[in-house]
Amino acid sequence: MRIGIDLGGTKVEVIALADNGIEIFRHRIDSPQGDYNKTIDALVHLVNLTEHETNLKGTVGLGMPGTISPFTGKVKNANSTWLNGHAIDKDLSLRLNREIRVANDANCLAVSEATDGAGQGKNTVFAIIIGTGCGAGIAIDGKVHSGANGNAGEWGHNPLPWMNSDDIAYSDDTLCYCQKRGCIETFISGTGFMNDYQRLSNGPRINGRLIMEKVEQNCPIASKAFENYQIRLGKAIAQVINQLDPDVFVLGGGMSNIDKLYDALPDLILPWVFGGEFQTPILKAQHGDSSGVRGAAWLWPKE
């Protein structure tokens, strides 16, 4: 049995997978806020609960915001800031008396979809989360590629390429939480989509679902915001093709559920690809919101 835990900012979810990938247990609790020790207690509780309910012992993988620094062995870059500066893998391993594998949540998405999802059978999977925030993960041969500095896949904190005047105006008005301007995350996260609509309408801020309803009603401002979003996402993906050229892109997060994206993106990407050739599949995550927690379980791959 493989146990996977998805440690989010508001909830912690555990899943148990049989060797064939079939789900045999799942449970969710609220995330402890601002308290590292209570977070460890919650993770231990979920593993113990899973093993009690299934009467099986399992390997444990943990997906989380941020990453483990290869230099200090401690968490860095987590927006759940109480995790930063702690050796969460070692602390959890001591409490559970077994090895624990930990990866960034976007890398878990990549591993999940590479193992038995939309990227199954592909050598290099680039998985993109476009939800409240924006991030990416890389799986090569079904395993996490985290890089020499633990930063592989931190695509959202690079500048949006080939900015036009409208992109520059938006960037000048928008500061990323990393304290830089122009980050891809500020443009193509769900939050960025909402911010751009508000900027264009000079009105109240509304959620992405309502903006897309306005798109369907041919609202010119909503249509312009969605057009901006698609072009920016296309340019950001083209940059990945020119650097990594993965075998498949898999999209997860709330914005990935907009079916119109998949129709438009290939034509929007092509002009920015060096050499003018682009046929890489862009697919919706097969396991949807479950990909992160499933990917944590698959940090212990099939032998």
| pLDDT at residue 70, as a whole number | 94
Domain-embedded: residue 212: yes
Contact 41, 34 (CB under 8 A): no
pLDDT at 136: 95
pLDDT computed for residue 77 by the predictor: 87
Q: Is residue 303 part of a domain?
A: no
Q: Residue 142 belongs to what domain range?
A: 119-285
| Alpha-carbon gap, residue 50 to 43, rounded angstroms | 11
Q: Is the pLDDT of residue 195 over 90?
A: yes
Asked if pLDDT for residue 303 goes beyond 80, the answer is no
Per residue in 246-282, pLDDT (tens digit) is 999 999 999 999 999 999 999 999 999 999 999 999 9
Round to whole Å and give the CA distance between 142 and 278.
Answer: 23
Same domain, yes or no: 41 and 174: no
pLDDT of residue 78: 86
Within this chain, do residues 95 and 125 fall inside the same structural domain, yes or no? no
Question: For the segment 121-174, what is each residue's pLDDT rounded down to a tens digit?
Answer: 999 999 999 988 898 999 999 999 999 998 999 999 999 999 999 999 999 989
Note the pLDDT of residue 65. 86
Domain shared by 71 and 131, yes or no? no
The length of the chain in residues reads 303
Dihedral sign from CA coordinates of 250, 156, 103, 254: negative
What is the CATH classification number for the domain harbouring 263? 3.30.420.40
261, 251 contact by CB (below 8 A): yes
Dig out the tokens for 175 from the structure. Answer: 């500061």
Could you tell me if 101 and 145 lie in one domain?
Answer: no
